[in-house]
Structure 1
C-alpha cells in the first residue's frame, strides 16, 4: 500500500468515525429531551422499545468506533492493510468494502469456519 492509498483510508476512517460520533451525540440529545411521559400504557411501552433499540444501536456504534480507532493506529504504525494472521496484504477491494478489516478474505473465511466447527452451543 502506498502513501496515497494509506492517506485515502485514513481520511475514510476519520470521516466514518466523525459520522458515528455525530449520530451518537444526536441520540444522546434525543434521549435527554424525551422522557417517558406517554399517558397510554401501549404508547409508553412502544417508546421504551424505541429507546432500547436506540441504545443497542449506539452500543454497536461505540464498538465500531473502537475498531475504527484500532484501524487508525494501524495506519499510523504502518501495519494497516496487512493481515494480522498471514501478514499478507489485504486487497484494496476488501478494505474499500470494510476499512476496519484485519484479515484477508481467505484468513477471515478460515477463521469463521473454525468458529463454526468449534462453537460450543
Structure 2
C-alpha cells in the first residue's frame, strides 16, 4: 500500500519541491549569464555597456560580474519598466 501524507505534510513537500525548482531555474539563468560573460571576455567586449558602449565601471563589475549595462543604463531601464511595464 502507498502511504499518502496528510494534507499539511503534502503541502510542505510541495513547497519544498517548488523552492527546489525556483533555485534550479535561478542557477540555470546565472550559468547562462556567466557563459555570456566569458564569451564577452573572449570577444573583448566585457566591461562595456551594451546600450552606451561606455565602460561599466570596476565597482559595478566587482559587485555584479555578469553586468552588461552601466549603472546609469540599468537605472534608466528599470525606470522605463516601472513606468511602462515589461
Greater relative contact order: 1 or 2 (C-alpha under 8 angstroms, separation 6 or more)? Answer: 1
2:63 is matched with: 97
Question: What's the TM-score once normalised by structure 2's chain length?
Answer: 0.88
CA-CA distance at 1:38 after TM superposition: 6.0
Q: Distance in 2 between matches of 1:42 and 1:65?
A: 35
Structure 2: runs of 5 or more not aligned? none
Aligned-residue CA RMSD in angstroms?
1.5
User: More helix by proportion, 1 or 2?
Assistant: 1
Structure 1: runs of 5 or more not aligned? 1-36
For residues 62-105 of structure 1, what are the alpha-carbon distances to aligned partners after superposition, in whole Å with 9 as ceiling and x for unaligned? 11111111111001110000000110011100000000000110
The correspondence for 1:69, drawn from 35, 40, 48, is 35
Question: What's the TM-score once normalised by structure 1's chain length?
Answer: 0.64
Moved beyond 4 Å, runs of 4+: none
